[in-house]
Amino acid sequence: MPGLFTLKRLFAVLLLLAASVLLAQLVGELNRVKTLKTDLAEIHHVRYGLLDADQWVGRISAIIEQRVSAFELTDANRPQIVRAVEQVLDTLLVEIERYLRQRNLKGGGTWMDQLQGALQQGLQDVLIDFDKLRKKVPRYAEAVVEQLGTPEAKEEIKNQILTLMRRTSDSTFAKVDRSPLERLFERHACVDAGHCAQRLQDQIDAAWTPTRQRLGILVGLVGLMFLLCLSGSSRRDRGDKGGLDPFRLFLLTGATLILLLGGLLTPMIEIEARISELTLVFMNEPIVFSDQVLYFQSKSLLEVVRILATTGAADMLLVALLITLFSIIFPALKLIATYLYYFDIRRARDSASIRFFALRSGKWSMADVLVIALFMAYIGFDGLVESQLGRLWSGGAEAPARLGATVLTTNGTSLEPGFYLFLAFVLASLLLSARLEKAFAESHPN
């Protein structure tokens, strides 16, 4: 039935066009989501939280301010505080007396220096009675404790402690460059980290469901096209090449190349390691850092090649070259050369390069599968991160408990749509190669 045959061809062409349009939309949307995820990881990066000294100063300062403001002298705590002040004053008097005696009676020098030191010590013993001062320590301690409860004293204590903390932080730790974070806020019209993180997460969640639907529809369209082009009940429908004609093969080759492009241009794997929560107890108050991203990458195969190439290292350049050859150049050339050779378009069988890719590159056909296997090996990163983060505390599993700290870690290594598109390409190319070999054998029985 020529009419039905023509209708099937028209329908297959429409499927190919629809798959092409859908691929363009999918590539754009997946890369947009990847950018959103990268920005979200930047907001939660550990450099702006757990590794930022200003964050520690701010959180510890808040606890200190709260404790100093809440401090009240009561009948229950007054004796304990007085005893503590008495110990401090008594220690201070002992140190002062020891220092003055050492200064006055220091060894060495002339006999005149020694005589002068003895006279100074005698005069000091007459003028300053340290034993008498020690007896008055309880009274002095009571006066000091009485002043501690005044609002002015509390405010001064807070100011002195906070000033000391800030000076220590500024002199010890380098300032974190927050300009990338500020530019990110400006790009997304956000006011702070929490607001921006929630906005990005909402956009990611809103885009994920339609993206998965587009992925499923794209693979379904290609599968339906294969079904239409490889099925047929009569030899007239199948053509004269053992089941395939140039037009059908053109459609199948185009569909396979669409899957290849999708696998190369979209993220293939996403790797993330984060500390979901770190809790440290300070003055019986928890200091909590949550969602601290240690590492995040979401890359397509082409991006991996570009990153390897830009390193400039010889071993990285070799890996980039191998990935480019085995996952991009060889599969594409094999498909095109097979199409040209089996139908001898423009005497393609006379070309040595086309004969090589069509007939002798079969032993390289598993190279693209090898690339998938290499990416699957990255799944082991999931267990590696979990193991290493669990050893953050060199003292072992009990160390965080002794330090009053709790660490909860999460990590994720997930396959992205690019992996499934590349896997679909591998399967489609294997199916097409097997059918072409069968077609060529049927059309050339000798």
Residue type, 257: L
Residue bearing the bigger pLDDT, 172 or 318 = 318
Q: How many helices (H) and strands (E) does the chain have?
A: 19, 3
- Residue 162: pLDDT band by 50, 70, 90 thresholds? confident
Range 245-264 average pLDDT: 87
**Euclidean distance between CA atoms 20 and 141, whole angstroms:** 85
Percent above pLDDT 70 for the chain: 74
pLDDT value at position 385?
53
Q: Which of 123-127, 144-148, 285-289 has the highest mean pLDDT?
A: 285-289
For range 266-273, the mean pLDDT = 85
Q: What is the pLDDT of residues 334-352, one digit of tens each?
A: 777 777 777 776 677 677 7
pLDDT tops 70 at residue 404: no
What is the tens place of the pLDDT at every residue in 188-202? 998 889 899 999 999
| pLDDT at residue 329 in the model | 80
The domain ranges of the chain are 2-38+177-443, 72-148
**Helix, strand, coil shares, percent, the chain, to 5:** 75, 10, 15
Residue at token pair 């139908």 = 343
Q: Can you give the pTM of this predicted structure?
A: 0.71
Q: How confident is the model at residue 363 (pLDDT cuts 50, 70, 90)?
A: low
| Highest mean pLDDT out of 386-390, 395-399, 436-440 | 436-440
Strand order of the sheet with strand 267-282? 285-300, 267-282, 405-415
The alpha carbon dihedral of 168, 170, 174, 179 has a sign of: positive
Q: What is the pLDDT of residues 89-98, one digit of tens each?
A: 888 888 877 8
> What's the pLDDT at 39?
95
Average pLDDT value for residue range 28-33: 93
pLDDT for 20 equals 94
Give per-residue pLDDT as tens, 170-190: 777 778 888 999 999 999 998
pLDDT of amino acid 235: 46
pLDDT band, residue 233 (cuts 50/70/90)? very low
Summarised one tens digit per residue, pLDDT across range 291-303 is 888 888 888 888 8
- pLDDT at residue 243, rounded to an integer: 55
- Calculate what percentage of the chain has a pLDDT beyond 90: 17
Asked if pLDDT for residue 254 goes beyond 70, the answer is yes
**Greater model confidence, 223 or 303:** 223
Q: Which long-range contacts (CB under 8 A, 24 or more apart) does 280-288 make?
A: 280/403, 280/404, 280/405, 281/404, 281/405, 282/60, 282/63, 282/404, 283/63, 283/64, 283/67, 285/63, 285/66, 285/67, 287/56, 287/59, 287/60, 287/63
pLDDT at 204: 94
- 112-134 per-position pLDDT tens digit: 666 676 777 676 666 677 778 78
Give the residue with greater pLDDT, 367 vs 29.
29
Q: Which of 90, 87, 86, 103 is nearest to 130 (CA)?
A: 90
State yes or no: pLDDT of 226 exceeds 80: yes
